[in-house]
Chains A and B, each alone.
Chain A
Amino acid sequence: MKFIQKIGLVIFILALAGFSLLPFYGSYQLEKELVISETKDIHQEAMVDILQPMYGKVYTSNIKFIADFNRYFDGYNDELKSAEEWDKVIWDDYTFSLTKASATGPVSESPSLFLAVTILLGAFGALLYILPLYRNQPNGIKNDGIYHSSMKSRGLLGMITGSWLLLFYIVLYWFPAYLTNLVLMVDPLSMALSGNPASQWFLYGLIYTLAILVMGIRMFRKYRGNNYQTIRTASVMFFQLAFAFMLPEILVLFNMPWHDFKNIWPLDYSFFYDYRLEGMLGSGALGMFMLVWGIILIVVGVPLFTYFYGKRWYCSWVCGCGGLAETLGDPYRQLSDKSLKSWKIERYLIHGVLVFAVVMTAVTLANYFMEFELLGYATNELHTVYGFLIGSAFAGVIGTGFYPLMGNRVWCRFGCPLAAYLGLVQRFKSRFRITTNGGQCISCGNCSTYCEMGIDVRWYAQRGQNIVRSSCVGCGVCSAVCPRGVLKLENAGEEGRINDMPIIIGNKSISIKS
């Protein structure tokens, strides 16, 4: 078994290396016809002119190609800007689409082959490694050696992994043109699903979904025998595959707007942006359903489900960010900071983002209903700022890139405005709590260590107090790792849920209130 696992690991690393190097492979050649077909009518004339010097030239790497492209394109814009001819400046970014269109070479000729030997082979290698895990071992907690592992305890391997993720996200969000080859190889799959060529987001969605599926299988192995973990993991795998990946593409196939039915504002911060609203309003009955469904989730779904089940119904059962955190991020859950100080920072940050998102949306909507008389198109600026700071930098780059450094829920804990909203309901009006089992706690610290949200669970458990923290996503791992059976996630009556002055069972001399 060990042997097969080693082979799996080698395959995975080779595939990952292939994936990382592939963007630098192949050649690029721009032609006038390509420029005409890829640019908007109003820009065609200018663009054909600007890029004139590039036609017919064969570039042997995308770096040179993009450098030249930027040189000519920026040169044109800079001149206009210094002459203050703002209306002539081209604000659209054609880097990605033109680079993609200009790509020639093996990847564009046989994209499926390259998909197979990078992403698919990587998933296969990972499964070879994962499936035999814990074979012939009794069910139980499999945390042996975590703090001896360089990957899982901020060692060199962890740092390398984190750096790779950071780099990947930065390129994905801000320099996608460098990923052309990777996007090209998923084109056929995208065509088959939605009838459209792939964007960098399709590539991202595919990798994201595969990561959740493959690492979800790892969760099944690791927590074998723990039904809560198994069912919850199956749930996030299902919602990612069906609702976040397949369904939106199928909608596009039927000329509907791309829509993820399980994403909820304010996590889905663009839900009330004018283009989204118009997209939904312009798509007949289904579009109308998207809008109504989205609003029902916000005003009824969140409070109702959170009242009955706590925020876990979303954060660790449905959500895509949560889904990745609970699967790909599981090996890093112990790295979250448990100090009181980090809790303080958390409360400022997450509620700050919530306020930001609400204000931005309110202004956007007011503006929209006043037919842009309020602020004109200034809300777009606001959207850009939010999208850059929160949507991309926080949720993506930091949220995932920092897994190996600060644990797997950095975004969910410090940044997600929906988590903040769910958390407020959970804290003040919910039947969910983690019950502490009388006096059984031995203060060992396993629960706090493995709480991905950085909750100092032991603080409560050792004083016999129930845990009703707004940030708890109900992953159930504290309960799983507790060696004394002290913690139980449950939904029950509100009476006695918050016990600020608990009495630890077992001492009849006095009634000590901790």
Chain B
Amino acid sequence: MTGHSTKSKSKHFVIIGNGIAGVTCARHLRKADQTCQITIISGESKHFFSRTALMYIYMGHMKYEHTKPYEDWFWEKNRIALKQAWVSQVDTDKKTLIFSDDSTFDYDVLIIASGSKPNKFGWKGENLQGVQGLYSIQDLELMEKNSQAVKRAVVVGGGLIGIEMAEMFSSRKIPVTFLVREKNFWDTILPEDEAKLINRHIKEHHIDLRLETELDEILDDGTGRVKAIKTKSGDLIDCQFVGLTVGVRPNVDFLKESKIQINRGVVIDACFKTNMEDVYAIGDCAEFQEAPAADRKNIEQVWYTGRMHGETLAYNLSNSKKVPYQPGIWFNSAKFFDIEYQTYGFVPPIWGEEIESFYWEDSKGKIAIRILYQKSNQAIIGVNAFGWRLRHEYFDSAIEKGYHLEKVLGELGQASFNPEFYKSLHKEVLKQYNQENKRSIQIKKQSFLQKLIGSRA
């Protein structure tokens, strides 16, 4: 070994899972090394597609082929082999995979990126026809089949996939009852004001939103199909479809028999290494031994983190110098029906004494911004925005460098990412701040010429 690189000729990297994590890793492996062999295996689909776009297929915004981020020729051109099959076992001693049809496949390096699967909590009736979660293409196909002749659908679980499912049905004018265990929608993540804003918007879309309501059991119509559900408070709701969207868990059951250490997910260190030599895990299925940062969980289940895991592991596999996974400022986004949500930095649902909050909501109650900052020095630590697109680059450095709250408020115009000609909201925000705090911060005025040529600075 020359010690410079661990690249060796025609090493075979085998990746289980063609989601964002596995595919990103494969792409960057190929970029770093033209000679290695790369195979991606997935049972769900031959080609990589965007899981986040499943709802749009159902709603008729797109077809399946539109959700593929790369054209089909891309894989061959980059010499990334694709194999559609289900892995049923991993034999780390022989370095081989065993498929559901008992055929085998050897690897030199194994990367597990097998994603998640929907949670089920052992409810009575959870396996009836017309009861399902939403994660894969097959789930979507089933949902298409199950939604024929549905007069009412019940969606259980007030999270991101739950609200997507409600929107899906509502796009087809199928009435929806939405059961949320918490006091307000997604309030384990959102502060109360924001959660209530979304409550209102859900109702505006004629969804029968039932807060603080839990599923008790699902009732059979006698033929093995769902006919109704019962809530814990005893209400019966007639329905022909029940969506179970109560979170996801790592999809690792096929590894149970192997020597790879599993807890909730595949247990890994900060460099994505499992307990077994040459076996790594990334994406939704991976569980860090130690959370990667103070504000992070041990299992990261979003698109962006999957991508970053993939990038970082590819780097480590093609360089002798290993770097631990070190995420930057947290960010995330979602869309609740028509209201877009973006968040940057640290905004928990409730915060401690040392933190203060500034919150503004427009008069119609559909646009809002919250900025959290340190009481001591007024450095901002996080922001939530609803119906208001913000510039990632700006808030990434504002939070990283701890900009003073008033500096950020004064610069909200430039920090906004809303389309041109949208109403400028920052003036109203500033007005409220100045009133509340008896301050008189001004916005930097743009000259007519600057406005005319659309200058940002």
Contacts and interface: CB of A to CB of B under 8 A. Distances in A.
A147 B312 contact: no
A507 B61 CA distance: 31
B419 to A, nearest CB: 5
Interface string B195-212: 000000100110000000
Interface string A477-488: 001110111001
A146 B61 contact: yes
B456 A492 contact: yes
Contacts of B328: 505-508
B384 to A, nearest CB: 13
B67 A445 contact: yes
B392 A227 contact: no
A478 to B, nearest CB: 11
Contacts of B419: 226-228, 476, 479-480, 488-489
Given A339-B71, A438-B392, A140 B338 contact: yes
A506 B331 CA distance: 8
A389 interface: no
Contacts of A308: 453-454
Interface size class on chain A is 35 or more
Given A141-B338, A147-B61, A438-B391, 15 more contacts: A138-B338, A139-B338, A145-B171, A227-B419, A431-B453, A438-B392, A443-B20, A443-B69, A445-B50, A484-B335, A484-B342, A488-B417, A492-B456, A493-B455, A505-B396
Considering residues A147, A149, A431, which has the most beta carbons from chain B within 10 angstroms of its beta carbon? A147
B408 interface: no
B66 A449 contact: yes
B323 A444 contact: no
B28 interface: yes
Contact of B396 (A140, A431, A506): A506
Interface in B165-200: 171-172
Interface in B53-78: 53, 56, 59-63, 66-69, 71, 73
Interface of A: 138-141, 143-149, 226-228, 231, 308-309, 339-340, 431, 435, 437-440, 442-446, 448-449, 458-459, 462, 476, 479-481, 483-485, 488-493, 504-510, 512
Contacts of B326: 507-509
Interface stretch (B2-10, B34-42, B259-267, B303-311): B303-311
7 interchain residue pairs of minimum CB distance: A438-B392, A140-B338, A485-B389, A491-B454, A227-B421, A444-B53, A145-B60
Contacts of B135: none
B224 interface: no
B393 interface: yes
A226 B418 CA distance: 10
B138 interface: no
A242 to B, nearest CB: 21
Nearest to B324: A509
A440 B342 CA distance: 9
Given A228-B419, A444-B53, A507-B328, A143 B323 contact: no
Interface string B412-454: 0000011111110000000000000000000000000000011
A458 B50 CA distance: 11
A447 to B, nearest CB: 10
A480 B422 CA distance: 12
Contacts of B337: 138, 140
Contact of A492 (B327, B342, B455): B455
Nearest to B171: A144
30 contacts: A139-B338, A140-B337, A140-B338, A143-B59, A143-B61, A227-B422, A438-B392, A438-B393, A439-B307, A439-B392, A440-B342, A442-B333, A443-B52, A445-B62, A446-B56, A446-B61, A481-B61, A484-B335, A485-B333, A485-B389, A485-B390, A488-B389, A488-B417, A489-B420, A493-B456, A493-B457, A506-B329, A509-B312, A509-B323, A512-B311
B99 interface: no
A490 B324 CA distance: 37
Given A445-B50, A507-B311, A437 B325 contact: no
B62 A446 contact: yes
Contacts of A227: 419-423
Contact of B308 (A144, A435, A449, A507): A507
B340 interface: yes
B38 to A, nearest CB: 18
Considering residues A141, A442, A458, which has the most beta carbons from chain B within 10 angstroms of its beta carbon? A442
Contacts of B403: none
A458 B67 CA distance: 10
Given A440-B333, A444-B52, A509-B324, A145 B303 contact: no
Contacts of A141: 61, 338
A509 B62 contact: no
Contact of A147 (B63, B73, B307): B63
B392 A440 contact: yes
B315 interface: yes
Nearest to B331: A506
Nearest to A512: B311
Contacts of A480: 419
A484 B20 contact: no
Nearest to A513: B31
A144 B52 CA distance: 17
